[in-house]
Amino acid sequence: MKQFKYYLLVLTKEDLYQEGFLGLIKALNNYENLDYDFITYTTPTIKSEIKELIRKSNSP
């Protein structure tokens, strides 16, 4: 996620890893086997959780 390289001054890599892991758990809980792979569903969910953390960390 090169677009967020400057935000690491506020957040640690561990924060981002933890949020990604929570996104994975969220994806596991919400996944229903429709007509697509689990990874296809999981990737956007994890990215969304990380982006939300970054957005919240920059809010006053």
Q: What is the pLDDT of residues 2-15, one digit of tens each?
A: 555 555 567 888 99
pTM of the full structure: 0.74
What is the dihedral angle through the alpha carbons of 42, 46, 48, 52, rounded to the nearest 10 degrees?
160
Higher-pLDDT residue of 58 and 52 is: 52
Q: How many domains does the chain have?
A: 1
Query: What domain range includes position 26?
Result: 13-58
**Does 20 map to a domain?**
yes
Higher-pLDDT residue of 37 and 34 is: 37
**Does 39 map to a domain?**
yes
**Does 33 map to a domain?**
yes
**Does 5 map to a domain?**
no
Q: Are 10 and 57 in contact (CB under 8 A)?
A: yes
User: Which pLDDT does position 8 carry in this prediction?
Assistant: 52
